[in-house]
Amino acid sequence: MKFTLALIVFTIFTMPSLFSQDFDLEFFASGFSNPVNIKHAGDNKLYVVEQDGYIKIVQPDGSIESTAFLNIDNLVIDTGNERGLLGLAFHPDYETNGYFFVNYIDNLGNTVVSRFTRDATNPLLADINSEFNILSFDQPYSNHNGGDLAFGADGFLYISTGDGGSGGDPLNNAQNTLNYLGKILRIDINATTPIHNYSIPADNPFVGNPNVNGEIWAYGLRNPWKFSFDRLNGDIWIADVGQNAYEEINFATAANAAVGLNYGWRCYEGNAVYNSDDCSEPNSYTYPIGGYNHFGDGESKCSITGGYRYRGTAFPNLTGLYFFADYCSQEIGFLNYDETNDTWLRTLNDFNGNWSAFGEDFNGELYVSDLTSGSIYKIIDNTLGVDQNSLSSISVYPNPIKNEVHINFGINNTNQLYTTILIFDLQGKLIKSIPRSTNTIQKIETSDISEGIYLLNIQSTNGEQSIHKLVKN
């Protein structure tokens, strides 16, 4: 048994180098109006942000709750293609405190980052009267608002902002370190000061520099519409929408958090000089690790939508790929790291959809939204057979686990396919063996399991296995 488990672990982490990376889209849910963000709150539901000012809950079977989780349509201006309710992030301790954060453009056309609280009696609703303003700042034009939010592994809230709009950054905001435009901001929302409803982390890269706002973590960005953290190692991926020639995929390791990177805009678009006024030496900028040209890279392109690096367990062939899309060409692509040549290789696949956002569920599975049709699709490995696809639809939550873990087998799966649920430690010792019940969602007691990392092995009648990593805190 120990040999078998070791082989499973080896397979999970080595498959991408042994097989080709083919992927497809599987329909998941529809009926949304301008979906621009997809997040999870630590369980098996997805929360979809609509640009008009709504957040809607999607259950694991793709059904949508009839009442919106949050409705701030009256607070949000959605005229113009790039304004509205744009970002969402759940507090790392959301299960306990019910806090979540939104980024929107208000009726004056300015950016607002606010905290709301889950309703005290109904967890499927937010308390509409609980808004607590965290940060707001002026937007000189209607476009290039950035608007994404995410918590890093450090527990701090990261905020993406565009350069303020128009074209070519006429105010040179992205290189102006005394404003918040064209930046990634990093703030501590668990502590306030007499001046702000947040505090500035002591290890922010520019703390103490009178020429740089302390909230700034990185700058020199044009319109970082989407960014994400690699759940495996904390690396940050920033997709920056280009001006008229090149779409950027920027990157920083978790270790670069204290560096204060300058990604170059407006001095550079990609690796090419765009506007040389008031610029530094070329080696003072951080250049993209990937991207593509508007013309000459196949279909004509215009605007990148950044995604996530795949860290799920359902599709091992996709492990480590960074997914992104282009709004105009409707292509979805990925970057794959070539260790031999120390470079990122790009692949683009043709699809039909104006891709506006990627989402990652609690198990690391990826989704993508089509702004025009209002549909959500799941990214899947199209090399899997029917039985393997059935196994891959299983979701496990919460994770990390505490006193129990839920296994959702999906309403379309037959109970007869699954027989046994096994939990192993990383030395291959069998910790638990549980017969499969007849429930669609089976609960397993884990209060008797010590803290650590485990593997959940769900076995089927035809010999297939669904492997999930469990973390017990």
- Regarding whether 232 and 101 lie in a shared domain, the answer is yes
User: Do 348 and 399 fall into the same domain?
Assistant: no
What average pLDDT score do residues 287-301 get?
96
The number of folded domains in the chain is: 2
Please provide residue 45's backbone torsions phi and psi, each rounded to the nearest 5 degrees. Answer: -90, 160
Q: What pLDDT is attached to residue 472?
A: 86
Q: Does residue 191 sit in the same domain as residue 281? A: yes
Residue linked to tokens 């992927």: 23
Instruction: Report residue 146's pLDDT band, with 50, 70 and 90 as the boundaries.
Output: very high
Distance of alpha carbon 411 from alpha carbon 414, whole angstroms: 8
Q: Which amino acid is at 398?
A: P
The mean pLDDT value of the chain amounts to: 91
Q: Do 416 and 290 share a domain, yes or no?
A: no
Q: What does the pLDDT read at residue 3?
A: 38
Same domain, 440 and 402: yes
In a domain, 170, yes or no: yes
- In this predicted model, which residue has the larger pLDDT, 170 or 468? 170
Write down the residue that tokens 């204060």 correspond to. 260
Domain that holds residue 434: 386-472
**The domain spanning residue 457 has which CATH number?**
2.60.40.1930
Does residue 111 lie within any of the structural domains? yes
Same domain as 276, residue 260? yes
Q: How much is the pLDDT for 425? A: 84
Whole-number pLDDT of residue 350: 95
Model pLDDT, residue 385: 53
Torsion angle of the four alpha carbons 156, 158, 159, 163, in this order, in degrees rounded to the nearest 10:
130
365 lies in the same domain as 449: no
Least confident of 142-156, 359-373, 432-446: 432-446
Asked if the structure places residue 103 within a domain, the reply is yes
Residues 116 and 211 in one domain: yes
pLDDT tens, position by position, 394-448: 888 887 888 889 888 875 555 557 889 999 887 778 899 999 988 888 999 999 9
Q: Tell me if 11 is assigned to some domain.
A: no
Q: Determine the Cα–Cα distance for residues 135 and 137; give it in Å rounded to an integer.
A: 7
Domain identity same for 157 and 33: yes
Q: Which of 99, 137, 135 is nearest to 120 (CA)?
A: 99
What spatial distance separates the first Cα and last Cα of the chain, rounded to whole Å?
Answer: 26
* Most confident of the ranges 16-20, 255-259, 262-266, 316-320: 262-266
Q: Which of 346, 380, 414 is the last residue of a domain?
A: 380
Question: Are 317 and 462 found together in one domain?
Answer: no
CA 433: distance to chain centroid?
34
* pLDDT one-digit tens code per residue, 13-67: 443 333 445 899 999 999 999 999 999 999 999 999 999 999 999 999 999 999 9
**CA torsion, points 167, 168, 171, 175, in degrees to nearest 10?**
140
State the Cα–Cα distance between residues 12 and 68, nearest whole angstrom: 38
Q: Cα separation of 143 and 150, whole Å?
A: 21
Residue 447: strand, helix, or coil: coil
Residue 294 has which token pair?
């508007």
* pLDDT greater than 80 at residue 393: no
Q: Where are the alpha helices (DSSP H) in 35-160?
A: 94-97
Closest CA to 369 of 31, 36, 20, 22: 36
Q: Is residue 7 part of a domain?
A: no
Strand partners, 141: none
List the beta bridge partners of residue 433: 422
* One-letter-per-residue 3-state SS of 101-119: EEEEEECCCCEEEEEEEEC
Peptide bond connecting 400 to the previous residue in cis, omega within 30 degrees of 0: yes
- Using the 3D structure, point to which of 332, 353, 380 is the last residue of a domain: 380
H or E segment to which residue 315 belongs: none
Residue where one domain finishes, among candidates 380, 413, 446: 380
Same domain (yes/no): 290, 347: yes
CATH, residue 277: 2.120.10.30
Same domain, 258 and 361: yes
Question: pTM (2 decimals)?
Answer: 0.83
As a whole number, mean pLDDT of residues 179-203 equals 97
State the Cα–Cα distance between residues 114 and 429, nearest whole angstrom. 47
